[in-house]
Amino acid sequence: MEFEVGITIPLSKVQKRVTEATRVSSRTFGRILKAGENVETGVTMALSTLHKLRPKVYTKSILDNFDEAVLRRIFHNFYFTEKQ
């Protein structure tokens, strides 16, 4: 804790202290400041969140001809054995 060790970053360097305390990069901190200025001047109406790009999850898998034939055979066998 800072109160035990003492002040390592001078109080005059506010941006550096904030980035170290919040563990946010200085570039991100600058973007947040710029967005806040845009809201104050009326350029934008509200702050927007930064969206993290996530890999797209595919719910349907792509089957080749062999896999389709295997599934077809399984379904047909189930139909004939269960009579449903």
Per-residue pLDDT reduced to its tens digit, 25-71:
989 999 888 888 988 888 887 777 667 788 888 777 778 889 889 99
| pLDDT reported for residue 56 | 83
| pLDDT reported for residue 27 | 92
Confidence of residue 84 (pLDDT cuts 50, 70, 90): low
**Residue (of 5, 1, 30, 35) closest to 18 by Cα position:** 30
| pLDDT reported for residue 3 | 66
How many residues does this entry show for the chain? 84
Are residues 45 and 39 in contact, defined by beta-carbon separation less than 8 angstroms?
Answer: yes
Mean pLDDT along residues 16-21: 86
pTM, entire model: 0.46
